[in-house]
Chains A and B, each alone.
Chain A
């Protein structure tokens, strides 16, 4: 018996575009009932979703479908509430000195929660991406909220009882899962709401991750000043962080909505336009690995500067008539953070106009030129050094923020969040590679009697080489072969079925 298309099917666009085969979603089986096999597989059939939603707060198991007239401009603040919170991870260094003195830890030990957090970010984004696509952004944001906040609460308990392993487990392991799931939670939804400007939309969210440290760094420092930097003061600070971030992220959980149709804006292209590739299919394409190399090289080059910014500018001008003080070096680091943030929103938005491949040509090509300028003339002109470093950091931020839109161009919106999660393993690799190259070479050069800018000469040449590799990988990116595409007609047919379920107003 040929299945009939059910005109009252409950098929949210997000679900259809992230689960295949679409035919199983929108078709009823023989006898007119929903296909039990499909229901079991997708958990979003008439009845199953409502059953799930009835017993859970905010119906977190159901993708929150936007009611008519829902403004898409409510989605970026939802994303920002999550990214501004989890961006706190980059401000972990504020807690390091108090922890070291209160619990008698070494510098390496006090860095453990952050390092484990970043590892868990990469792992949970890579392995949890498909689940995020399946369950939707509200579920993902709820998981991020619970994990990130309870990570702080566990850490508070660890500090209060002076059990450091609890801080590592709480902030690093549990909180790290929150980082990864939170990072990818809004990406797919933003791209679906802004099919006309995906670069700008993801740029806003990913800018928030950079902005999170700007907020947390002075805020945490002032809190430690008020509460004291002994173990009870640190515990209280962790507790306040956990509770405040839980409240702050709740906005995202409550506000996030998936669009009702694949074309949420009149005149904009359909979010389902172009080829659609599954996450499993994407990692089998050369395009994914070319992009992985592009991101890894770009991030490695950026981290190379970011990691050693303060000592680098001090060393470069140590022997000149205008040496850089420690205070001025701190100001330089702050300026680099601003360039990183501005690059995320600026370059990513620009990619909507000039194209993703072209903007990565700029990041990698012009980035290599900037490194060459620093290597050749950096120690003779402070403004030139600062300007080149700022441009490099803007490219670093831009590379992060443009990646989801590049993935959308190549693989479609179908499982773009999950594919993005897998791509973030490039970030984890670069996070190890970049600091390792710069620190190891600088240490060896110092041992060999070098000083000043010559400590970094070889590192700068290596960065230029890495950017050249990234540039070549970007040039190799071609449209994905049709054999990897999921059946598009079925996806679009299912997405156009009007929804009958109550909206999440």
Chain B
């Protein structure tokens, strides 16, 4: 058995959530500002 398969790889779910939050939160802020501005087309 190779060394790679002898032990299960570490669980990286936390890292994945953190990484997506790192980029997702600023993007969500940008989208929020965009929606706020875009609604002016119908209300402005």
Is the Cβ of A334 less than 8 Å from the Cβ of B9? no
Q: Are A328 and B33 in contact (CB under 8 A)?
A: no
**Complex: chain A residue closest to B29, CB-CB:** A215
* Tier of interface size on chain A: 35 or more
Q: A71-B16, A217-B33 are in contact. Are A208 and B41 (CB under 8 A)?
A: no
For chain B, what secondary structure do more than half of its interface residues adopt (helix, strand, loop), or is it mixed?
helix
Question: How many positions in chain B have a CB within 8 Å of any CB in the partner chain?
Answer: 28
Most chain A CB inside 10 Å of its own CB: which residue of B16, B27, B39, B42: B27
- Whether B1 sits at the interface, judged by CB under 8 Å, is no
Residues of A near B26 (CB, < 8 A) are 84, 215, 248
Cross-chain contact A81 with B22 (CB below 8 angstroms): yes
Per-residue contact bits, chain B 1-38, to A (CB 8 Å; 1 contact, 0 not) = 00011001110100110011011001101110111011
A251 interface residue per 8 A CB criterion: yes
- Measured CA separation A326–B40 after assembly (Å): 10
Contact A71 B12 (CB under 8 A): yes
Is there contact, CB below 8 Å, between A328 and B20?
no
* A327 surroundings in chain B (CB, below 8 A): 40, 44
Pick the contact of B30 from A215, A326, A331 — CB < 8 Å?
A215
The answer to whether A74 touches B19, judged by C-beta atoms less than 8 angstroms apart, is: yes
- For A84, the chain B residues whose CB sits under 8 A away are 23, 26-27
- Residue among B39, B42, B44 having the largest count of chain A Cβ atoms under 10 Å: B44
Check B44–A77 contact: CB distance below 8 A. no
Does any Cβ of B come within 8 Å of A246's Cβ? Answer: no
A interface SS class: helix
A218 close to B (CB within 8 Å): yes
Partner of A68, one of B4, B23, B31, B40: B4
Contacts of A218 in B (CB 8 A): 29-30, 33
Once the chains bind, are A330 and B27 in contact (CB under 8 Å)? no
A81: nearest chain-B partner, CB-CB:
B23
For B16, the chain A residues whose CB sits under 8 A away are 71, 73-74
Contacts of B39 in A (CB 8 A): 331
Nearest chain A CB to B25's CB is how many angstroms away? 10
Q: A211-B30, A215-B27 are in contact. Are A77 and B37 (CB under 8 A)?
A: no
A489 to B5, CA, bound (A): 28
Contacts of A328 in B (CB 8 A): 40-44
Cα A328 to Cα B19 with chains together (Å): 36
Look across to chain B and name the residue whose beta carbon is closest to the beta carbon of A337. Answer: B34
CA distance in complex: A219, B30 (Å): 9
Task: From B5, B9, B16, B22, name the one whose CB has the most chain A CB atoms within 10 angstroms.
Answer: B22
Give CA–CA (A329, B22) in the complex, Å.
Answer: 32
Say how far A235's CB is from chain B's closest CB, in angstroms. Answer: 23
10 additional contacts, CB 8 Å, given A77-B19, A81-B22, A255-B19? A70-B9, A74-B16, A214-B27, A215-B29, A217-B30, A325-B44, A329-B41, A330-B37, A334-B34, A334-B37
Considering the complex of A and B, which 4 residue pairs feature the smallest CB-CB distances, nearest first?
A69-B9, A331-B41, A214-B30, A327-B44
